[in-house]
Chains A and B, each alone.
Chain A
Amino acid sequence: MTELIVGPFNRVEGDLEVRLQASDGTVAAAYANSPLFRGFEVMLKGADPRDALTLTPRICGICSISQSAAAALALADAAGAEMTEQGALAAAILHGVENLADHVTHFNLFFMPDFARQAYKGRVWHSDMVERFTAAKGASQHAALEARARLFHIAGILGGKWPHTLAIQPAGVTRTPDAADRVRIVSILRSFRRHLETRLFGGRLEEFTALESVSDLACWTQGDAGLFLTASADLGLADMGWGPRRYLSYGAYPFATGRKTRAGVWADGEISDLKTGEIVEHVSQSWMLGGAAHPFDGATRPDEEMGEPGYSWCKAPRLGGRTCEVGALARQVVDGHRLALALADEGGVRARIAGRLLEIARTQIWLEDWAQALDPGGRFMGEFDVPKTGRGAGLVEAARGALGHWVVIEGGRIANYQIVAPTTWNFSPRDADGQPGPLEAALVGAPVADGETAPLSVQHIVRSFDPCMVCTVH
């Protein structure tokens, strides 16, 4: 048995360290440590509830709109307020733009550069990878950065600035776009579609979203997506990094008529309703004091001694006592897309990346529809008064998965605020029963070559989740 400490991980958002126990050339046990703690939940106590709209987005500079949307929804829930129809539409566009951009960033800047490593020299796909994805230099990276910056003009138009957009409020958005704005948004989306169809997919988005099976997927050889699938087949990434094969989604993009994607849980081939009352955060192996609790009753008391058996600042959320994987794949599976359902059982590195590619294509199509539906004459903001007392949950889907804010208001101030972020689910430490978190379980069995100090398999598996460590612990 040898012990390896892999980290710090770069090209993930925030800080991460993984401790591995390896024997016979494979990982036998893994421990994920989130070594960065700031204490947002502590700061929010006693604050004006509206300040959550400004403070929580600053948990993360990559998913800040997701945090802002969750905070707005939690406050709306506590106040019994609702976004106007057009407000919800504008909020969905803002959020969709961020999610789409995050997926594209992850693929190009964070995930793919690992295939350009020297260790893969000689593989048939390696020279293409080097040309397109060498860290900070690859041709696809340049193209993606440019396209992404243009895409974010939409966040500029509707939200004033990105990151840390302030426009999303409990009852709508602060900006009423005019007809010219709508035209600009539509044309920006058209240009982003061109980028996706020429670079990433090498084909029409509708052709990709029409894929129904794993064998369909394997036939997709065009574009950067095809390059990934080729490398993936060569390296056996489908069989690497299996998650718990239990997927959770709160349902993305809330509208008055319901959510764009379904909320629920997928396990053993069945999709069932989500019972949020069964969400419990454990702290027994975290550097946190207190006991397991539902987020409404949760507390954040860091253990300054950093005592055993704790090994991470991250809490361990469980649904009905069990781990769940969240993210693009989970969302698409729970929504019942046929390709995603076909990948659900596979549940490894390839499935996660393919699920994300599928979501990129679908989100772009949704955004185009939403932009057309914008009505500059409509109302973008409704009524909202800060409640004196109340409690509310804001459940949204960030790029990286299910994000929940739970707020308790007493005497017009925040009495408790708890946040469970996507990577809190995926990279959680062990719970009271010793059950490892999804990443920790996914790493078991990963091959470790002789002399490897930062095994390539581990790099692929960790990044396939698209972790956001600053959200994880906050």
Chain B
Amino acid sequence: MSQIETFYDVMRRQGITRRSFMKYCSLTASALGLGPAFVPKIVHAMETKPRTPVIWVNGLECTCCSESFIRGSHPLAKDVVLSMISLDYSHTLMAAAGHAAEAALEETIQQYKGNYILAVEGNPPLNEDGMYCIVGGKPFVEQLRHAAKDAKAIISWGACASYGCVQAAKPNPTQATPVHKVITDKPIIKVPGCPPIAEVMTGVITYMLTFDRLPELDRQGRPAMFYGQRIHDKCYRRPHFDAGQFVEQWDDENARKGYCLYKVGCKGPTTYNACSTVRWNEGTSFPIQSGHGCIGCSEDGFWDQGSFYNRVTDLTQFGVEANADQVGLAAAGVVGAGVAVHAAVSALKSAQKKTQGQSMSQNEEV
């Protein structure tokens, strides 16, 4: 295999100063929830490790994941996106076209056999031998299998690749199927959400490139550092939930006061994601802040749970880990009945502490 540049080489070549590079490393450490002690580690890794090639393929999807990704506010996001990870094959952004593009994909696979990360946006539809999504004259599922064969690890970007998303909504006309049901012999990290938050995407990919390993995953295969808590847990409208102050209708006085959106269908209490902490569009806001409930787009099956505007009453398909399950179930019972909120809150607090404790100890092992 030919010599691959280090990250630092690539960044320097792009005209990034040493000062910016150091800033990037320290901000990365904090974005990933690592202490200042990890900054030199990141610096060392970036200076000495050959960069990891990334192949980004698109199946049945809407490109919202790419769209989210290129707007990341992660430190020097544009440089991360456009130079550091040096997407070796990206359908949306690259220069080559047509067969030249397919050739570029093949070349990357051959050159970096066993060393590249395969990032999958979208999923393969399996009905009619995969004919609902054709790439280069062949069903996408074939491109996916082929590219996955020599990948070191796979990132399933977004709800499509992770769970199926809206195109898998009943009756799932094309039999859109998540990646892990097609590729079963590779480590897969799921980064769900429709789309995932840009900072979560860059955070995950930076972690993998820097430490050359997968971040700690929960039982569903999601990075615990971003999906360890429910949106509800850190929601700024949470005090109104606890106080029983709810928006009843979009345009009522309570909506103006910024009360809790639970009664107009908010799925925050059952959704594990970082929206209420990291927020969207470079930390500007998130759906609940815009007055619309969370639709739970990072949860499996969110598209088939009855109307998006019905309130949450059951939580059967959600489950991340034992603690979270218990909390979720407790909260669901409470929420359904509308009483005994305090019990749920305290259960939640203790669970939160546990989760935080766990992820910290994980980080220390790194």
Cα distance A313–B131 in the bound complex, in angstroms: 11
Which one of B67, B171, B174 has the greatest number of beta carbons of chain A within 10 Å?
B67
Contact A7–B136 (Cβ < 8 Å): yes
Q: Cβ of A159: which chain B residues have Cβ within 8 Å of it?
A: 285, 290
Q: Mark B84-102, 1 if CB is under 8 A from A, else 0.
A: 0001001111111111111
Cα distance A5–B137 in the bound complex, in angstroms: 9
Contact A61–B65 (Cβ < 8 Å): yes
Interface size, A (range): 35 or more
Does B292 touch A at the CB level, under 8 Å? yes
Q: Cβ of B309: which chain A residues have Cβ within 8 Å of it?
A: 48, 50-51
Cα distance A38–B65 in the bound complex, in angstroms: 17
Q: Which one of A51, A166, A306 lies within 8 Å of B131 (CB-CB)?
A: A306
Does A204 touch B at the CB level, under 8 Å? no
Q: Cβ of B254: which chain A residues have Cβ within 8 Å of it?
A: none
Q: Which of A9-63 contact B (CB under 8 A)?
A: 9-11, 13-15, 17, 35-40, 42-43, 47-48, 50-51, 53-55, 58-62
Q: Cβ of B172: which chain A residues have Cβ within 8 Å of it?
A: 43
Does B315 touch A at the CB level, under 8 Å? no
Contact A134–B97 (Cβ < 8 Å): no
Q: Which one of A35, A53, A64, A459 lies within 8 Å of B97 (CB-CB)?
A: A459
Does A237 touch B at the CB level, under 8 Å? no
Contact B282–A55 (Cβ < 8 Å): no
Q: Which of B244-274 contact A (CB under 8 A)?
A: 250-251, 255-256
Q: Which of A152-168 contact B (CB under 8 A)?
A: 152-153, 155-167
Does A362 touch B at the CB level, under 8 Å? no
Q: Which one of A136, A176, A470 lies within 8 Å of B87 (CB-CB)?
A: A136
Binds B, one of A142-150, A262-270, A427-435: A142-150
Q: Cβ of A142: which chain B residues have Cβ within 8 Å of it?
A: 78, 82
Cα distance A35–B58 in the bound complex, in angstroms: 13
Q: Which one of B64, B171, B173, B303 lies within 8 Å of A302 (CB-CB)?
A: B173
Q: Cβ of B166: which chain A residues have Cβ within 8 Å of it?
A: 40, 43, 55, 58
Contact A136–B95 (Cβ < 8 Å): yes
Does B228 touch A at the CB level, under 8 Å? no
Q: Cβ of A11: which chain B residues have Cβ within 8 Å of it?
A: 92-94, 97
Does A109 touch B at the CB level, under 8 Å? yes
Contact A454–B100 (Cβ < 8 Å): yes
Contact A169–B250 (Cβ < 8 Å): yes
Does A89 touch B at the CB level, under 8 Å? no
Cα distance A116–B78 in the bound complex, in angstroms: 20
Q: Cβ of B291: which chain A residues have Cβ within 8 Å of it?
A: 160, 167, 173-176
Q: Cβ of B284: which chain A residues have Cβ within 8 Å of it?
A: 153, 156-157
Does A6 touch B at the CB level, under 8 Å? yes
Q: Inter-chain contact count A-B, CB under 8 Å?
A: 236
Q: Cβ of B194: which chain A residues have Cβ within 8 Å of it?
A: 58, 164
Binds B, one of A336-344, A376-384, A416-424: A376-384
Contact B295–A148 (Cβ < 8 Å): no
Does B339 touch A at the CB level, under 8 Å? no
Does B226 touch A at the CB level, under 8 Å? no
Does A453 touch B at the CB level, under 8 Å? yes
Least CB distance, A305 to chain B, in whole angstroms? 9
Q: Mark A122-135, 1 if CB is under 8 A from B, else 0.
A: 00000000000011
CB-CB under 8 A for A37 and B174, given A61-B64, A383-B251 = yes
Does B167 touch A at the CB level, under 8 Å? yes
Q: Cβ of B127: which chain A residues have Cβ within 8 Å of it?
A: 304
Contact A176–B256 (Cβ < 8 Å): yes
Q: Which one of B93, B133, B279, B308 lies within 8 Å of A136 (CB-CB)?
A: B93
Cα distance A334–B129 in the bound complex, in angstroms: 44
Cα distance A109–B169 in the bound complex, in angstroms: 32
Cα distance A9–B169 in the bound complex, in angstroms: 28
Q: Which one of A47, A61, A152, A379 lies within 8 Å of B251 (CB-CB)?
A: A379
Contact A8–B174 (Cβ < 8 Å): no
Least CB distance, B290 to chain A, in whole angstroms? 3
Does B134 touch A at the CB level, under 8 Å? yes
Cα distance A58–B303 in the bound complex, in angstroms: 11
Does B365 touch A at the CB level, under 8 Å? no
Which one of A38, A42, A55 has the greatest number of beta carbons of chain B within 10 Å?
A38
Does A436 touch B at the CB level, under 8 Å? no
Q: Cβ of B94: which chain A residues have Cβ within 8 Å of it?
A: 10-11, 135-136
Does A137 touch B at the CB level, under 8 Å? yes
Residues of A with Cβ closer than 8 Å to B? 5-11, 13-15, 17, 35-40, 42-43, 47-48, 50-51, 53-55, 58-62, 64, 109, 113, 116-117, 134-137, 141-142, 145-146, 148-150, 152-153, 155-167, 169, 171-176, 302, 304, 306, 313, 379-384, 453-454, 459, 470
Instruction: Enumerate the 8 nearest inter-chain pairs by beta-carbon distance, A residue then B residue, closest first.
Output: A61-B64, A160-B290, A156-B284, A39-B173, A156-B281, A135-B95, A174-B291, A35-B134
Besides A37-B125, A160-B280, 10 new A-B residue pairs in contact (Cβ under 8 A), listed by A number:
A10-B91, A10-B94, A38-B176, A47-B307, A58-B62, A61-B64, A155-B281, A161-B275, A302-B173, A454-B98
What are 25 A-B interface contacts by the 8 Å CB criterion?
A8-B101, A15-B134, A17-B134, A36-B60, A37-B132, A37-B133, A43-B173, A48-B306, A51-B308, A61-B195, A62-B64, A116-B95, A135-B95, A145-B78, A149-B70, A156-B280, A156-B285, A157-B285, A160-B288, A161-B285, A165-B290, A166-B295, A172-B250, A174-B250, A384-B250
Residues of B with Cβ closer than 8 Å to A? 58, 60-68, 70-73, 77-78, 81-83, 87, 90-102, 125, 127-128, 131-137, 165-167, 169-174, 176, 194-195, 250-251, 255-256, 275, 279-282, 284-292, 295, 297, 303, 306-309
